[in-house]
Chain A
Amino acid sequence: MPTIRLDNLVKRYGAVEVLHGIDLSMEENEFTVLVGPSGCGKSTTLRMIAGLETVSDGEIYINDKPVSHLEPKERDLAMVFQDYALYPHMNVAKNMSFALRLERRPKAEIDQKVREVAEVLGLTPYLHRKPGELSGGQRQRVAMGRALTRDSATFLFDEPLSNLDAKLRGQMRAELALMRQRVHKNMIYVTHDQIEAMTLADRIVVMHGGYIQQQGTPEELFKRPVNKFVAGFLGTPPMNFLDADIVERDGTVWVTGKGFELALDGEHADAVRAHRAKQITVGIRPSDLSFDPDAANENSFELRVIVSEYIGAQSVLMCDCGGQQVVVELKSETPIPLGETLRFSVNPAGVHLFDKESENAI
């Protein structure tokens, strides 16, 4: 089984450089998710691995073999496209068996393979239908089926779920996670949806502006984001950011901003001292705030609740803190009066500090 390695991969369109030297290694059978906002270069990276885009500079290695000059078919991979890219004039069975038919495999073998995959994906009743006669979810499955019939070493997914409605997307996400357990292949998955990234990935690669911002397990990225971008991109509702100054009083390091003051615990305080930063940005996830009228002053804030969004078990509160917006996520049972100023305590482990200039984590 090959491992895939990108070595200083660069893509230029004319004079415009859209990927600035991507270095990335994927372990055997790893599910890697490239995630980032539109235009971050994630799809371009995937399409270069697939061989659909030329490589401007750098090299792609599959199993230590440079492949950037090879045609897609020589790279032993299968791909699922965002718009499914089914062949509209072929029925489902023909769509799924196209690659095998091109290889002139024996008919019995092809039939068997198609039946197997169709059974797994629940497509058996539709084998004789054309893509135009299928629903979005069914088409999505056919696209998946076409990739699975191939038995390639590597699977590439280019935003495969983004054309589905929310409910179906959740369902297909779960099915993908299931498939992941059965099929042991290298998988590279591109999405702009951080929930897909968090739920599916062994390794998340967060991209922005043609650079890799951070890579690691979902937990690493969620708990220890290296910069403000990654911190703000992963997690819903997104992390709150507040501008603050560092003040040291009586041996305690404080961050103070408009309308709040927090004492840092030992670990954070050491980091801030080592960094010698004066102006920083404090990041706190909405779930790391909790309503606590009796909290001590040094690790709590006063927030004025403006809007409460009830979303079932959880409620999301939009609050004001000295002119900056702070979002709090709470269990819906907690009764919160609108318009009041209340005290919320901060989970000390959930405090993230970023340099205000470079936006890197301290």
Chain B
Amino acid sequence: MQRATLNRMTPYAFMAPAAIVMVIALLYPLLYMVWGSFRDWNPAQTIGETEFVGFKNYITLFYDPAFRESLSVTLRFAVIVVSVEMVIGVGLALLLDRNIRGMSVLRTLFILPMMIAPVVVGLMWRYMYHPTVGTFNRWLKSIGLEGVDWLGQNALMSVIIADIWQWTPFIFILALAALQSLPRSALEAARIDGATPWQQIWHIKIPLMMPVLIVTCLLRLIDAFKVLEVILVMTEGGPGLSTEILALRISRTATEFRELGVAAAMSNYLLILLLILTAAMFAYTKIQEAREARIRAAAEEDM
């Protein structure tokens, strides 16, 4: 009996170290945050000295126009950057999936932006966007156009452009990898079947790449909701609240406003949002599969 029990326990024993690290590094801070979000907590206090306030922090936030604005900025930012990045990234991959001389150099160049530290990216773009000495306005003026108020009136658009510049390569390399692993013969069959290059893309390449694209899109969305450094360096959330994304607001609530409980509650809102997003993506795939299975079953019953 003992031997059998030991055998059964072996996998758990092997998993234990990883599980312990997970609990300490992931679960503990997470639960700490959830617990903290129910308390009125000033950074000067230890968590034991704080007062339990129930859902007050969540309710306050829900009616807080600044938080709502920040949430809406985050949503707009994430949706726009991810959609544009997906289109450009997949488009580039489709264009560059061929054997031309120098293509490997070109591919490497394309993924350079992703390798630069976000803070550096932020600084770089901040100087390029500078109203008088920045590259963009100097160039615009040199061809006789008005300068653009990049980080003022158009701040959200400007940070969106910078993010697109930095993260399109991520989608590009994953899409390219997906493309190159497609079954060559299926594409040849499509050519014989008379598909034009466009039709091959729409009917064969994109649908076959879909599983990879969905995961890529999800990863980018999660990342976009958490973006911080580039925007912090470029605009610090301004002017006004126009680029104050949630991550920035959370950090300011904790450091400037000294309200740890509220900051924790805000983080939880973000976490819930991301969880819903992820669950929705998986649910979508499952529903699709179930629908197909149902159609098939119905069709086969008819016979």
Give the distance in Å from the alpha carbon of A85 to the alpha carbon of B207 in the complex: 15
Q: Does chain A have a CB within 8 A of B68?
A: no
* Chain B residues touching A, majority SS: helix
Q: Does chain B have a CB within 8 A of A342?
A: no
| Complex contact B194–A103 (CB within 8 A) | yes
Residues of chain A within 8 A (CB-CB) of B204 are 87
Selected interface stretch from A76-84, A195-203, A347-355 = A76-84
Q: Does chain A have a CB within 8 A of B9?
A: no
B159 to chain A, nearest CB (A): 37
Residues of chain A within 8 A (CB-CB) of B195 are 73, 98, 102
Give the distance in Å from the alpha carbon of A104 to the alpha carbon of B116 in the complex: 49
Residues of chain A within 8 A (CB-CB) of B186 are 85-88
> A73-B193, A102-B195, A102-B199 given as contacts; is B185 within 8 A of A128 (CB)?
no
Q: Does chain B have a CB within 8 A of A99?
A: yes
Residues of chain A within 8 A (CB-CB) of B183 are 83, 85, 88
Give the distance in Å from the alpha carbon of A50 to the alpha carbon of B186 in the complex: 14
Residues of chain B within 8 A (CB-CB) of A77 are 192
> A85-B186, A88-B183, A98-B203 given as contacts; is B295 within 8 A of A73 (CB)?
no
> A85-B183, A86-B186, A88-B186 given as contacts; is B192 within 8 A of A78 (CB)?
yes
| Complex contact B190–A98 (CB within 8 A) | yes
A126 nearest CB neighbor, chain B only: B300
Q: Does chain B have a CB within 8 A of A26?
A: no
B295 nearest CB neighbor, chain A only: A128
A118 to chain B, nearest CB (A): 11
Which residue of B188, B194, B296 is within 8 Å of A102 (Cβ)? Answer: B194
Q: Does chain B have a CB within 8 A of A72?
A: yes
Question: Which of chain A's residues 98-145 have a Cβ closer than 8 Å to chain B?
Answer: 98-99, 102-103, 124-125, 127-129
Residues of chain A within 8 A (CB-CB) of B286 are none
Residues of chain B within 8 A (CB-CB) of A125 are 300, 303
Q: Does chain A have a CB within 8 A of B124?
A: no
Which residue of B189, B191, B295, B296 is within 8 Å of A87 (Cβ)? Answer: B189
Q: Does chain B have a CB within 8 A of A91?
A: yes
Q: Does chain A have a CB within 8 A of B208?
A: yes
Identify the interface centre among A77, A86, A124: most chain B CB within 10 Å of its CB.
Answer: A86
Mark contacts of B159-193 with chain A using CB atoms, 8 A cut-off: 1 yes-contact digit, 0 otherwise: 00000000000000000000000010110111111
> A102-B199, A125-B303, A129-B296 given as contacts; is B208 within 8 A of A88 (CB)?
yes
A102 to chain B, nearest CB (A): 5
| Complex contact A89–B208 (CB within 8 A) | yes
Which residue of B185, B203, B207 is within 8 Å of A83 (Cβ)? Answer: B185
Q: Does chain B have a CB within 8 A of A52?
A: yes
| Complex contact B192–A79 (CB within 8 A) | yes
Give the distance in Å from the alpha carbon of A99 to the alpha carbon of B190 in the complex: 8
Mark contacts of B201-232 with chain A using CB atoms, 8 A cut-off: 1 yes-contact digit, 0 otherwise: 00110011010000000000000000000000
Residues of chain B within 8 A (CB-CB) of A103 are 194
> A85-B183, A91-B296 given as contacts; is B188 within 8 A of A52 (CB)?
yes
Q: Does chain B have a CB within 8 A of A298?
A: no
Give the distance in Å from the alpha carbon of A91 to the alpha carbon of B297 in the complex: 13
| Complex contact A89–B207 (CB within 8 A) | yes
Give the distance in Å from the alpha carbon of A124 to the alpha carbon of B194 in the complex: 25
Residues of chain A within 8 A (CB-CB) of B190 are 87, 98
Identify the interface centre among A52, A73, A83, A87: most chain B CB within 10 Å of its CB.
Answer: A87
| Complex contact A71–B191 (CB within 8 A) | yes
Residues of chain A within 8 A (CB-CB) of B185 are 81-85
A66 to chain B, nearest CB (A): 19
Q: Does chain B have a CB within 8 A of A5?
A: no
Question: Which of chain A's residues 230-275 have a Cβ closer than 8 Å to chain B?
Answer: none
> A52-B188, A128-B300 given as contacts; is B193 within 8 A of A99 (CB)?
yes
Residues of chain B within 8 A (CB-CB) of A98 are 190, 193, 195, 203
B191 nearest CB neighbor, chain A only: A72
| Complex contact B191–A73 (CB within 8 A) | yes
A150 to chain B, nearest CB (A): 7
Residues of chain A within 8 A (CB-CB) of B199 are 102
B209 to chain A, nearest CB (A): 10
Q: Does chain A have a CB within 8 A of B112?
A: no
Residues of chain B within 8 A (CB-CB) of A51 are 191-192
Give the distance in Å from the alpha carbon of A125 to the alpha carbon of B188 in the complex: 27
Q: Does chain A have a CB within 8 A of B299?
A: yes
A315 to chain B, nearest CB (A): 42
A152 nearest CB neighbor, chain B only: B192
Give the distance in Å from the alpha carbon of A129 to the alpha carbon of B299 in the complex: 10
A160 to chain B, nearest CB (A): 12
The 9 closest A-B pairs by CB, nearest first: A73-B194, A85-B185, A99-B193, A85-B189, A128-B299, A128-B296, A89-B207, A72-B192, A79-B192
Apart from the given pairs A89-B208, A102-B193, 15 other A-B contacts in the complex at a CB distance below 8 Å? A50-B192, A52-B192, A72-B191, A78-B192, A85-B185, A85-B186, A88-B183, A88-B208, A89-B207, A91-B296, A98-B190, A98-B203, A102-B203, A128-B299, A146-B193
Ordered by A's residue number, 17 sampled pairs between the chains whose C-beta atoms are within 8 Å are A71-B191, A73-B194, A77-B192, A78-B192, A79-B188, A81-B185, A81-B188, A85-B183, A85-B189, A86-B189, A89-B207, A98-B190, A98-B193, A99-B193, A102-B193, A102-B194, A102-B195
A residues neighboring B (CB under 8 Å):
50-52, 71-73, 77-79, 81-89, 91, 98-99, 102-103, 124-125, 127-129, 146, 150
